[in-house]
Amino acid sequence: MAEEIKSDWLEIIGKSLAFLCVQEISRNDPKRVPDLVAKVKFLESMGLSTKDAAGLMGTTANSVKTNQRAREKKGNGRAKKGRK
């Protein structure tokens, strides 16, 4: 029982520190995490799941995935030019 409570607190502390890190980076180096998708990717690189990272940013995992797909489509438009 005590071990389970300790594990829960460690998870809460870890998520809190990850949130503080992403907020500090977005304040000091806004080009590194310019939007929500970049912030969630940063949190995922720290070991959080997409669901947890999105929750910390105040959104859902589905919303993040939709924004990420839209961002990828926008970037791919430059590479697909037709012949004249």
| pLDDT value, residue 2 | 73
From the CA atom positions of the chain, what is the Rg in Å? 17
Confidence of residue 53 (pLDDT cuts 50, 70, 90): very high
| C-alpha–C-alpha distance, residues 69 and 49, integer Å | 18
Biggest distance spanned by C-alpha atoms of the chain: 70
The share of the chain scoring above pLDDT 90, in percent, equals: 65
Average pLDDT, the chain: 87
Task: Considering only residues 51 and 77, tell me which one the structure prediction assigns the higher pLDDT.
Answer: 51
Q: How far is CA 15 from CA 22, 75, 77, 82, in A?
A: 11, 31, 36, 46
Helices (H) and strands (E) in the chain, counts: 4, 0
| pLDDT value, residue 80 | 55
